């Protein structure tokens, strides 16, 4: 399983939600986490078709995108969505 | 016979005050050689339900003495004409603004009987002293008790409060915030602390300067054109349109995901390259020049994004008769409040060496609040402009 976060240096929502992304990494140590910058890594993220709102968290399972969390969400919301998804797997 | 008694009875019931209501009297002291006086005379002659009394003061000494006694009584220490007195209200000069004040004064005198100061001074043959108590009670009505600030006069406080509220709402508008956040993110990677502070402070001061330039230019325009009624109405209409756009933005934003909207790709990339160049620039002088041009270009974009609010605020200033110093003072308050969130983010980042972003959760509310403010000001500008004249 893999989680990818796409943010930008100029995006205050990305700054505000960064601690939540850190906590996710601590909570799920056996999942691999990757981070990309919307401007600096535009080539690598082209295929993800991120859209107009940042940050974006993509969840992949066996190479397939199974979840997408868009924008500045509360910690509880993010954790609940991830847990629900984990239960389904 | 009975019929006549009934009619007589009804006649008595009528509030006599309504029939015999005295028409308000306008006293105009003018000079035959004064162009504005001619304009005002033509204007006053067209007014209905008022009695107009005109006195030429340059060729008739007794009129000049009388006028000066009235001025002394009403505390008007100047030599200008035309000098108009309605009850105990005096108005100097004649333009669109004073027309409005004449109409307001007439309305007040129709509502509540005004003390005919000019007539009293004429009968007394000298200047009078109006009982201070009357003025005191009027002042007291405008005063109220505020926590921390204590006793405060509403008239004197309302303009600064308007400057603070509109400045803050304008400041929370995210249009150009992303540039500052990006600049700070790169500055934090810079080892030279002094250079960090220099670049950041230059960006913020240039942003303030650009806003001051824009507001001063707009104030100059407003001071001339806004005296014309239809122009004021037009600006009020523009405000209503701005209100509609802002409230519509709020409604559409409510359904969307909260977060940073990726603005125009090309422009953003250009700005990002500019910022990188500034931060990596070896020469401090060139870095400063770079950040000044960046701040200029970014803030002009910002103006288009939020031009409504500063424009409306300068319009309110223009409606109030202020000295240049007061205009500068209120614009200074506005700009400080406008930049407050930028200053806070910059200071916290420079001190903690960690960038703190401002959540975008409340961005939509700045559209709502901005829209409501524009709606209010637009309506007042069209229907009740005198309420915006807080300084009289």
Give the predicted TM-score (pTM) of the model.
0.65
Contacts of B76 (CB under 8 A, 6+ apart): B83, B90, B92
Indicate the residue of A13, A39, A70 with minimum beta-carbon distance to B357.
Answer: A13
Tell which residue, B201, B216, B204, has the closest CA to residue B330: B216
Q: Which two tokens stand for residue B225?
A: 């054109």
Indicate the residue of A39, A51, A71 with minimum beta-carbon distance to B269.
Answer: A39
Residue B54 CA to residue A53 CA, distance in Å, equals: 69
Residue B288 CA to residue B291 CA, distance in Å, equals: 5
Indicate the residue of B179, B262, B357 with minimum beta-carbon distance to A15.
Answer: B357
Q: Are B294 and B271 in contact (CB under 8 A)?
A: yes
pLDDT, tens digit, 9 for 90 and up, residues B102-159: 988 888 887 777 788 899 999 888 888 875 444 555 555 555 454 444 555 545 558 8
ipTM of the complex: 0.85
Q: Which residues does B contribute to its contact with A (CB < 8 Å)?
A: 174, 177-179, 181-182, 185-186, 256-262, 268-269, 272, 355-361
Q: Which residue has the tokens 């890594």?
A: A41
pLDDT in tens, chain A (89 residues): 899 999 998 888 898 899 999 999 999 898 899 999 998 898 999 999 888 899 999 999 888 999 899 999 989 999 998 888 888 77
Residue A48 CA to residue A54 CA, distance in Å, equals: 13
Strand partners, A54: B260
Tell which residue, B355, B39, B16, B366, has the closest CA to residue A8: B355
* Cβ-defined contact of A53 to B356 (cutoff 8 Å): no
pLDDT, tens digit, 9 for 90 and up, residues B196-207: 899 999 999 999
Residue B44 CA to residue B21 CA, distance in Å, equals: 20
Q: Are B325 and B317 in contact (CB under 8 A)?
A: no
Test mutation, B259, B342, B364, chain A, max A CBs within 10 A: B259
**What are the percentages of helix, strand and coil residues in chain A, rounded to 5?**
40, 30, 30
Phi-psi region at B296: left, alpha or beta (left = phi > 0; alpha = psi -120 to 50): alpha
* Cβ-defined contact of A53 to B177 (cutoff 8 Å): no
């Amino acid at each position: 399983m893999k989680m990818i976060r796409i943010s930008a240096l100029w995006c205050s929502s990305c700054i505000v939600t960064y601690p939540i992304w850190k906590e996710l990494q601590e909570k799920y140590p056996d999942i691999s986490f990757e981070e990309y910058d919307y401007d600096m890594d535009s080539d690598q993220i082209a295929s993800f078709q991120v859209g107009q709102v940042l940050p974006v968290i993509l969840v992949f399972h066996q190479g397939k995108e199974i979840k997408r969390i868009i924008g500045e969400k509360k910690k509880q919301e993010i954790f609940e969505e991830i847990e629900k998804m984990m239960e389904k797997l | 016979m009975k019929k006549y008694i009934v009619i007589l009875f009804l006649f008595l019931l009528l509030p006599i005050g309504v029939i015999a209501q005295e028409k308000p009297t306008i006293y105009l002291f003018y000079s035959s050689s004064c162009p504005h006086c001619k304009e005002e005379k033509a204007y006053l002659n067209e007014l209905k339900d008022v009695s107009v009394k005109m006195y030429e003061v340059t060729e008739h000494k007794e009129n000049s003495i009388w006028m000066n006694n009235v001025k002394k009584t009403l505390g008007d220490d100047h030599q200008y004409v035309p000098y108009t007195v309605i009850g105990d209200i005096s108005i100097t000069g004649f333009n669109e603004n004073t027309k409005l004040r004449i109409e307001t004064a007439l309305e007040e005198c129709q509502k509540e009987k005004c003390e005919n100061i000019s007539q009293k001074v004429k009968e007394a043959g000298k200047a009078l002293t109006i009982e201070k108590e009357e003025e005191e009670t009027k002042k007291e009505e405008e005063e109220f008790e505020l926590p921390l600030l204590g006793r405060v006069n509403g008239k004197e406080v309302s303009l600064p409060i308007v400057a603070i509220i509109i400045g803050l709402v304008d400041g929370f508008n995210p249009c150009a915030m992303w540039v500052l956040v990006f600049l700070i993110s790169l500055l934090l990677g810079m080892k030279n602390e002094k250079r960090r502070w220099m670049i950041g402070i230059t960006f913020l001061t240039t942003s303030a300067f650009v806003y001051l330039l824009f507001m001063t230019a707009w104030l100059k325009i407003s001071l001339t054109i806004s005296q014309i009624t239809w122009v004021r109405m037009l600006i009020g209409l523009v405000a209503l349109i701005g209100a509609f756009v802002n409230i519509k933005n709020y409604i559409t934003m409510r359904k969307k995901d909260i977060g940073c909207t990726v603005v125009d790709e090309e422009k953003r990339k250009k700005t990002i390259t500019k910022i990188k160049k500034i931060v990596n620039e070896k020469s401090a002088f060139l870095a400063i020049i770079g950040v000044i041009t960046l701040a200029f270009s970014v803030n002009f974009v910002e103006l288009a994004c939020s031009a409504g609010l500063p424009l409306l605020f300068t319009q309110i200033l223009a409606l109030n008769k202020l000295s240049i110093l007061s205009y500068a003072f209120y614009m200074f308050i506005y700009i400080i409040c406008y930049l407050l969130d930028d200053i806070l983010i910059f200071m916290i980042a420079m001190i903690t060496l960690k960038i703190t972003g401002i959540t975008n959760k409340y961005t939509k509310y700045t559209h709502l609040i901005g829209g409501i403010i524009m709606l209010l000001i637009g309506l007042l500008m069209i229907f009740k402009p005198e309420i915006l004249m807080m300084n009289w």
